[in-house]
Chain A
Amino acid sequence: MFELTLQAVFSGLLSGAFYALIALGLALVFGTMKVINLAHGELILLAAYVAYTLESVAGWSPLASLPVALVVVGICAAGVYFLISRIKRDRELNSLILTFGLAIIITNGILMIWSADVRSTGGDWAHGAFVLGDSLFAMNAELLAAGVSVVLVVLLYLWLNHSWYGRAIRAVSSSSEAAKLMGVNPRQLELLSFIIAGVLATFAGVALYSAQTIAPELGHNLTITAFIITVLAGMGSISEVLVGGLLIGVIEALTVTYFSSSLRELSGFVLFLAVLLVLPSGLSGLKMKTRKAGPTGVSPGSSEKPARQKQLQHD
């Protein structure tokens, strides 16, 4: 039983790191714009299908298809932003419905172009076994996806904290009015964060295609996973996204090992609701609580609106 548990934790950590990659783009956009992009999972899936097409038509390996997928998904992500930026009022809720509509469009578009069949990569290396200390098993692709994910989380974290653009994005997320006064163009930065979300979605999509099977209705599940982890991490906190992903991954793997694989999804949802109700500002809120660092930011549970929104309403 101990070995089984160890294997479950190992697999859980690997899939959890990949979950973090799925959530990263969503968390970034949410942190910058307070907009939940419900089409995020569909963008990931689109990248996976681009990789599939290039492999089946031109024989490219999934990794080689990254540049093409980056262009396709980057353009789509910019398109999503363009549409969101044209919402006239009540952006927080209307963007939810708008991106919900975009998700329906992409899912059905994929269904039309690639049909409902399940696809997976034919590459031998990706499905090859990786053995750690002759008792822990993983697929090569899983390991690669997890590694890429950790690297991207670190890069994004460094970029947000140490580059001018990163600081500007954080400034826009805390007050776009004040950022404007400091010579930052919020629209430009919102677009930038959407494009970066698209880049992250592309990596996630190509990794997804290398490691798993893909089908048109998968996008919806990806979005939900991404949102669960974003909530778990707390608003706009990038490093906690990795922790949140790992947590979900391990809990799901343990549920499968000890109970049943059909309860895997359930464990994620239950954790999600528990966090929403007990710890509305997520893992980052937990950190603040233990530090006793004064008043926290606007938690999702509170109903107060930032002053900037009120101002916009009076315009």
Chain B
Amino acid sequence: MTNSKMNNRILVAAVLITTYVLVPLLFGGNSYLLGVVVSAFTIAGIAVAWALLGNLGGMISFGHAAFFGIGAYTSSLLAMRFGVSPLLGLLLGGLGAVVASLAMLPVLRLRGPYFALAILAYAEIFRILAVELKSITGGAGGLLSIPGLPTVAGFDLNTKLGGYFTIVTIVAVSVLVYYLIRRSTYGLALRAMHDSENATRVLGVPATRLKALMLIVSAFITGVVGAFNAHFINFLEPNYAFAGTWTILPIVAAIFGGYRTLTGPVAGALVIYLMDQLLFKSLIPQGHQLILGGLLVAMILFAPDGLVGVLLRKVKGGGDHATT
């Protein structure tokens, strides 16, 4: 037990050193490649949030684009209209998404496909609102020259490398939060809920309140990632901010990596996005997402536990709730 804990610590340290030291050293000079890696981590952030809701809350969402778009618009508008620092704006973007998720709380009592598609309806409503509320959002024309991230302690975050460190930190903290929730008594109750919601209700677990909490945490993370993306690319329009891509890619990533594992969504996002951008796109210029759809189908049929799930089972020889 202590041995595997030790191994886990070494693994975590190795991953952190790789992302914070090795990747910048290797790819820091190639600004195109670094940009693609930043986008991959952006997807990874949403994928972690999506998996948190799916794994702990037991809810499949087709509407995470809503949180992403609202986080992006909240932070951008605060920075452009009121001069709020983008760094603070990241958190406020997350809060904006939380406010939006509060509007979604009534659909929590819906089950399975109803929840999944009700959230999709919300995402569409928010997108239409972003187009229609021209006086606030600038409408379909979008927002131009959104301020970039500031300089912190002499290090300019408004560069490709600065953006890289910011998003990697956001993703790392999200995974940490996910880990802590899962380890807590809440996590235990949520996992029990996944087996039988009625039984856990009888035992006095406030099931709906816990699900609401997961929705809020998931929305917050996605909102922060959305805000980051807006300040990184300095441009926003409704059909981009609320695009289905922000829902499709994280789902494929989380399912591919294994949405019941901690690291699966991140690993999945990196593999999926880098392959999509660097390989599939050059193979099939138009319609390259076809391969992503195929991967999704194949994973559900042949490896519903995902890549990390399969690897873990090989290493440990079984165990339903993987810990890595």
Contacts and interface: CB of A to CB of B under 8 A. Distances in A.
Interface in B245-262: 248, 251-252, 255
A276 B293 contact: no
Interface string A124-138: 000000000000000
Contacts of B251: 97, 100
B292 interface: yes
Interface in B30-81: 60, 62
A104 B110 contact: no
A253 to B, nearest CB: 17
Pick the most buried of B114, B198, B295: most chain A CB atoms within 10 A of its CB: B114
A161 interface: no
Nearest to B208: A303
A272 B123 CA distance: 13
B111 A303 contact: yes
A103 B293 contact: yes
Contacts of A300: 110-112, 114
Nearest to A30: B113
Given A100-B251, A277-B107, A87 B290 contact: no
A301 B300 contact: no
B124 A265 contact: yes
Pick the most buried of B129, B287, B296: most chain A CB atoms within 10 A of its CB: B287
A311 interface: no
B121 interface: yes
A88 interface: yes
A150 to B, nearest CB: 26
B313 to A, nearest CB: 15
A108 B114 contact: no
Interface string B262-295: 0000000000000000000000101111101111
Contacts of B293: 101-105, 108
A299 to B, nearest CB: 9
A69 interface: no
Nearest to B300: A98
Contacts, number: 123
A1 interface: no
Contacts of A227: 117
Contacts of B215: none
B177 interface: no
Given A89-B304, A112-B286, A220-B244, A105 B297 contact: yes
B198 A108 contact: no
Contacts of A296: none
A74 B155 CA distance: 60
B122 A104 contact: no
A76 interface: no
B310 interface: no
B286 A116 contact: yes
A115 interface: yes
Given A97-B251, A262-B128, A273-B118, A87 B300 contact: yes
Contact of B107 (A36, A92, A273): A273
Interface string B226-259: 0000000000000000001000100110010000
B121 A301 contact: no
B290 A109 contact: yes
A227 B113 CA distance: 10
Given A96-B116, A277-B107, A300-B110, A101 B131 contact: no
Interface in B124-172: 124-125, 128-129, 131-132
Contacts of A83: 297, 301
B198 A303 contact: yes
A36 B112 CA distance: 10
B304 A266 contact: no
A220 B124 CA distance: 12
A115 B285 CA distance: 11
A94 interface: yes
6 contacts: A83-B301, A98-B300, A108-B290, A270-B125, A301-B109, A301-B114
Given A111-B287, A112-B290, A303-B109, 7 more contacts: A36-B113, A108-B289, A112-B287, A220-B244, A269-B125, A301-B109, A301-B111
